Amino acid sequence: MREVPCNIEAEEFLLGALLSDEKTIYDIVDIVNEDSFYSDINKRVYGAIFETFRQGETIDIVTVAEQLKKRNDFEAVGGYAYLTSVTSGIFLASNAVKYAEIVAEKATLRNLIKAGQKIVSLATNDENAAVDVMNESEKIIFDVSQKRTGKTYSHIKDVLSDVFINLENSIGKGGITGIPTGFKDLDEKLSGLKNTDLVIVAARPGMGKTAFMLDIAKYAASKKKIPVAVFNLEMSKDQVVTRILSSTSGVTSNKLKSGELADADWADLAEATAFLSEAPIYVDDTLESKVTDIRAKCRKLKMEKDIQLVIIDYLQLMSSGTKRGEGNRVQEVSDISRALKMLARELNVPVIVGSQLSRDVEKRKDKPMLSDLRESGSIEQDADIVMFIHRETDNEDKDSEFNNIAEIIIAKHRSGSLGTIKLFFDGEHTSFKNLAK
């Protein structure tokens, strides 16, 4: 048996640095926490140091000793003798960050060992299917890599700093603090797509929800170089890319389907292909529709490609992958929407999901509303933004210019206002465009 990864000396040096110079805690508080320490004694001492810091008191041997007494840990750690011994070691307070990084690294290795043990336990359980074990294993490893210190809180000072950074970054961008969609009026309304947001794009078939989401993916990736993951459960990769190619090149989708291309079309396609080849778009057309599988793939793409936006088309083709929703589709869709919201928070990216509307919209001959979300369950509750796409397609005048006007109805916006913006729908290239004023 190999020794458990740990460095007791680094732990003691770190405690000594903290007790000798209280300012060092500001440098290491985001690197380690109580559980980062292997030695139970060092774990308790650091807990007392952090609690002293949290209460706004000066950190030294006396105040930490008092905190240890309150926690009934003073005798267990060896009292003043141990506190004095760690401060008399051969350490440099200026090296506190390095000591903390060593302690954190050893803690991560121990967490990986625990993760491995969990995976072995899952794999040796005959009741678990291999695909489920793989998905859960990826989640376990991802959690270790993403949450090394386990710190889930932030002081308002740090959050305010991030807010100001976002505001500064939005200068000159028309107030856009999130990922831009490329649709000017929509970006002004939403201020861009925010991290952790679950965005539902809902419409009846034929309204263009797939085209709308692909337009956002294309703009974010090609214009802003933002890595985007696209999951399409209805179309193949070739079909998805063909749509993007059509809207980028200006060559109609009918020409691309028939192959009847003029020399000018080939030139346009070549130019568009070269342009799109540089766009960080990652397309997945797997037939596997379990939300657990999609989450696992997103974690992998986050680690390998640092994706900043996820697009899934569409929700009603997904399954929860759990037994809880069997026989109850509304419950299953609720599980899916909750899992997608958790994915957005976990990866800290916006997740855009297409959704169908019920036929009640057609019966009513009216614009969509939140109650029209098909198998709605908790979709409305979990979503941060719900947008409907509405076009008048039943005009008696089939050539009416209004057939090409699409309304994007913002029916829910957790952090902003509601409203409707209008776009031009280019049916020949299955793409939406900004309307001229």
pLDDT for the residue numbered 374 = 61
Q: What is the CATH number of domain 163-434?
A: 3.40.50.300
State yes or no: pLDDT of 150 exceeds 50: no
Distance of CA 307 to the CA centre of its chain: 8
pLDDT for the residue numbered 369 = 80
pLDDT for the residue numbered 323 = 56
Render the burial of 35-54: b for 16+ CB within 10 Å, e for the rest.
ebbbbebbbbbbbbbbbbbe
State yes or no: pLDDT of 102 exceeds 90: yes
State the average pLDDT over residues 126-137.
Answer: 82
- Which of 99-108, 177-186, 398-407 is the least confident region? 398-407
Radius of gyration of the chain, Cα coordinates, nearest whole angstrom: 27
The amino acid sitting at 133 is: V
CA dihedral 47, 50, 51, 52 (to 10 degrees): 120
pLDDT, tens digit, 9 for 90 and up, residues 182-230 = 999 999 898 889 999 999 999 888 888 999 999 999 999 999 999 999 9
Distance between CA atoms of residues 427 and 435, nearest Å:
15
What percent of the chain is modeled with pLDDT above 70?
Answer: 86
Tokens of 178: 């999130």
DSSP letter string, 239-300: HHHHHHHHHHH---HHHHHH----HHHHHHHHHHHHHHHTS-EEEE--S--BHHHHHHHHHH
State the average pLDDT over residues 152-180.
Answer: 65
Contacts of 53 (CB under 8 A, 6+ apart): 22, 25, 29, 59
pLDDT for the residue numbered 307 = 93
Q: E strand or H helix at 422, and its extent?
A: strand 419-426
pLDDT, tens digit, 9 for 90 and up, residues 234-272 = 888 888 888 888 888 888 888 887 778 888 888 888 898
Q: Is the dihedral of CA 254, 257, 258, 264 positive or negative?
A: positive
Across the chain, mean pLDDT equals 84
pLDDT for the residue numbered 422 = 93
Specify the higher pLDDT residue, 381 or 77: 77
What percent of the chain is modeled with pLDDT above 90?
Answer: 32
pLDDT for the residue numbered 169 = 60
State yes or no: pLDDT of 136 exceeds 80: yes
State yes or no: pLDDT of 361 exceeds 80: no
Specify the higher pLDDT residue, 308 or 396: 308
- Return the closest-CA partner of residue 221 out of 305, 129, 130, 132: 305
- Which of 146-160, 286-300, 361-375 is the least confident region? 146-160
Q: Is 319 within 8 Å of 135 (Cβ atoms)? A: no
Distance between CA atoms of residues 155 and 370, nearest Å:
36
Q: Is 290 within 8 Å of 211 (Cβ atoms)? A: no
pLDDT, tens digit, 9 for 90 and up, residues 19-32 = 998 888 878 877 88
pLDDT for the residue numbered 155 = 61
Would you list the domain boundaries of the chain? Answer: 8-146, 163-434
Q: What is the pTM of this model?
A: 0.65
State yes or no: pLDDT of 292 exceeds 60: yes
Distance between CA atoms of residues 193 and 275, nearest Å:
24
pLDDT, tens digit, 9 for 90 and up, residues 320-351 = 765 555 557 777 888 888 889 988 988 899 99
Distance between CA atoms of residues 28 and 103, nearest Å:
11
CATH of 8-146, one of 1.10.860.10, 3.40.50.10580, 3.30.360.10, 2.160.10.10: 1.10.860.10
pLDDT, tens digit, 9 for 90 and up, residues 373-412 = 766 657 778 889 999 998 876 555 555 566 688 999 999 9
